[in-house]
Amino acid sequence: MSADVFSAAVSRQIWDERYRWRDDGVPREAAMADTWLRVARAAAACERDQPLWAARFYSLLADFGLLPGGRILAGAGTGRSVTLANCFVMGSIDDSTDGIFDALRESALTLQRGGGIGCDFSTLRPAGTMAAASGSSAAGPVAFMGLWDSLCATMGANGNRRGAMMACLRCDHPDIEAFIEAKADPGKLRHFNLSVLVSDALMTAAQRDAEWPLVFPACRTGGTAGDGAMVTRAWPGFAAPVRCEVLRVVRARELWQRLMRAAYDFAEPGVLFIDRINGDNPLAYAEQIFATNPCGEAPLPPHGACTLGSLNLTRFVRNPFDDHGRASTDHSALAAAAAMAVRFLDDIVDVSAYPLPAQRRQARSTRRIGLGITGLADALCMLGLDYGSAAGRSEAAGMLRTICHAAYRSSAALALEKGAFPACDPRRHAEAAFVRALPDAIVARIRSAGLRNSHLLAIAPAGTISLLANNVSSGIEPVFGLSARRRIRHGSARYASWELDDYAWARWRDAHPGAAAPAYFRTARDIPPADHLAMQAVLQPFVDQAIAKTINVARNYPFDAFQTLYREAHRLGLKGCTAYRPNPVTGAILSSPARPRCGGPREGVC
């Protein structure tokens, strides 16, 4: 490994500003290798043989083989009072003044310690309904979201890092139309990503152009706000399905069209297929999910937390750009790295601080981790494969299969060594659909002794850490531009513009000066949106949580084709969909040739 691991000046600056350990402004680390060593030692602190595991973790981190989440890189081993988990979902918001401000306080504490948060606002009464006890009129979820937005704008999250939040609302909440339109004004709710929790029932009703009831628990409205019609729903904040009053009825297709038009016109809300999220959750026997982290890759229960790390796939390509067909993926090395990464992230669960006691309890009860990938598009280029081709998708699926199976084997082995996660029911966990699809030998081990971690895999946007690793392509996104100009924030409010070369393109160009780019160096704008979606679809079967992916479409992309992407995402069994079209409200993410910020419009904490 070269003494200077940075081939891009921007990568060195990002390390220096965001991840280099300083005490009172004085650097404690001279090189990136010192950061890797600090992080490796911190993770190994809970191991019995700390020097052995610190050395092994260092080897995993070195030369950007594993890119831990930014909170781990910035905070592990520094002694600072920060969390090492990137992803949180807050507790259920009680529909009362005290409950709302308690939830706001918990959100402030989590943001202050460096976490990105998701909040489900479905528990709040619709605007205009009267409280049965006090007779006061409710402001509604969208109005209270403004409190969270102002909080985030005022306090930030942690030093150079902006806060990030996800707001979710059920598709049958009476304020769903106001939620859908909430970001039409470019000056409002700019610190939130928004996602609608779309049920299978809505998709079916929209297809049939059926009526769609908008409802709320009758015990919260006093049963007097509607016409007396009642339905039973599983509702956040309630341990069992509850009787809900039908407050209004709309046409399902009109509601769906309204959602699609908002996404087309101003890039939000995104869509979370909540029934798929809960149906495919291996821990569905012990929890129900109503929200995700800000970028959508970690669906979490109330007070849930997840630690993230991304394997850099460019480090597992042998004989890159070989003209004689000898380029290949080293699956043996990839499996070994995935197994080690599981142990590393599992240790992070123990050494991390948590902003709230409830988050600590939830994290250590389930021991959720989110191992993902980055550099996929660059790795495919190094293999001579087109991202949008069937061969490219097949190779990508093979990589994820290797990681998935190695991760589950590792977690099963850790369960024998250190014990299964406390909430584990081995028999019921082995019956989960995702687990049943694993090799029989792994399933048998899970049925016998359980797993160390309830969830193991999540693919984050990995925006900043990919830039740190000399600008490898982000997450599973295609290469957005071989060369691009990107605005990057430095300090609390200062931006600088950088000319960036894609990692794989820079390597190929240096080896072939003056030559034209091979055909497989297609960028995002050259890849049909359906092929973006197809890539996400072939990877989802190997990811037990979710995948952060933004499908970038041209400004002149037809609306009917745009909404077809979302219907196809549902048909393919995906857990969510976000398509981004440049528009007058949000503009383009970057000037051409563009590159999305941390997964497109969902700029986040990755």
**What stretches of 431-584 show up as alpha helix (H) in DSSP?**
433-436, 440-449, 463-468, 503-511, 529-539, 559-571
CB atoms within 10 A of CB 52: 11
Q: Which residue type sits at 19?
A: Y
295 is catalytic: yes
Catalytic residue among 106, 268, 297, 603: 297
Q: Which residue type sits at 126?
A: P
Question: Helix/strand/coil (H, E, C) string of 341-384?
Answer: HHHHHHHHHHHCECCCHHHHHHHHHHCCEEEEEECHHHHHHHCC
Query: What does the block give as tokens for 277?
Result: 């999220």
Catalytic residue among 281, 293, 453, 471: 293
Residue 531, classed as helix, strand or coil, is: helix
Query: Rounded to an integer, what distance in angstroms lies between the CA atom of residue 394 and that of residue 542?
Result: 13
For residue 189, CA distances in Å to 8, 32, 117, 319, 550 come to 34, 36, 15, 48, 20
Rounded to the nearest angstrom, the gap between the alpha carbon of residue 1 and the centroid of all alpha carbons in its chain is 31
281 is catalytic: no
Catalytic residue among 244, 295, 306, 381: 295
For residue 147, CA distances in Å to 90, 99, 154, 165, 276 come to 15, 13, 11, 12, 31
CB atoms within 10 A of CB 470: 23
Query: What does the block give as tokens for 142?
Result: 């969208």
297 is catalytic: yes
| Dihedral angle computed from the Cα positions of residues 191, 295, 199 and 182, in that order, rounded to the nearest 10 degrees | 20
**Burial class, 403, CB count within 10 angstroms (exposed 0-12 / middle 13-18 / buried 19+):** buried
Q: Which residue is it, tokens 């005022």?
A: 154
Long-range CB contacts for residues 506-509, cutoff 8 Å, separation at least 24: 506/7, 506/8, 506/471, 507/320, 507/321, 507/382, 508/321, 508/381
Query: Rounded to an integer, what distance in angstroms lies between the CA atom of residue 240 and that of residue 504?
Result: 52
Query: Rounded to an integer, what distance in angstroms lies between the CA atom of residue 39 and that of residue 307?
Result: 14
Q: How do 242-251 and 211-217 pair as beta strands?
A: antiparallel
Asked whether 157 and 605 are in contact (CB, 8 A), the reply is yes
Per-residue burial over 539-570, b = 16 or more CB atoms within 10 Å of its CB, e = otherwise = bbebbbbbbbbbbbbeeebeeeebbebbebbb
Q: Is the peptide bond before 513 cis (omega within 30 degrees of 0)?
A: no
Query: Rounded to an integer, what distance in angstroms lies between the CA atom of residue 15 and that of residue 541?
Result: 34
Query: Rounded to an integer, what distance in angstroms lies between the CA atom of residue 302 and that of residue 291?
Result: 8
Element counts in the chain: helices (H) and strands (E): 22, 22
Nearest to 448 by CA among 430, 423, 472: 430
Catalytic residues: 293, 295, 297
